[in-house]
Amino acid sequence: MECLFCKIAAHEVDSNIVYEDDKVIAFLDIYPVNPGHVLVALKDHAEQLLELPDEDLQTVMLAVKKIMKALMNLPDVDGVNILQNNYEAAGQAIPHVHFHVIPRKSGDGYKHWPGSPYAEGNAAEITEKIKEGIR
């Protein structure tokens, strides 16, 4: 077993576990954006979100919600970001599906990535391509 998160789930690697049940494990990120930054992962290995059965996705999202609720009860937490990266190009560093639950404080200095409006006609074209992929 080479996957770091599988090793954490099997308790072969020390981690600061904040929540665990038979399907999910949640632990502090070792490189937190803010104190209390938690990673929530299914214990069963899957590299990308698209590999998860819907039931497993529901299970992990309910755990994410529990962690978010706990973080919102901490002092100085004004909000929470929930992030999930797929594939290296999107910033996925560990190839095991996991969600970042990041406590935020107003004025903590972190910004979202910049956005820009669509060029004339591009939004309609992209909308149709996405709809075709959903059908």
**What positions carry a catalytic annotation?**
98
* Dihedral (CA of 69, 70, 72, 77) sign: negative
The type of residue at 42 is L
Q: What DSSP state is assigned to residue 106?
A: T
Q: Where are the alpha helices (DSSP H) in the chain?
A: 4-9, 54-72, 122-134
**Angstrom distance (rounded) from CA 74 to CA 72:** 6
User: For the chain, how many residues are written?
Assistant: 135
Structure token digits, residue 4: 């770091």
What is the arrangement of strands in the sheet containing 38-42, beginning at the earlier edge strand?
A: 17-20, 24-28, 38-42, 98-104, 79-83
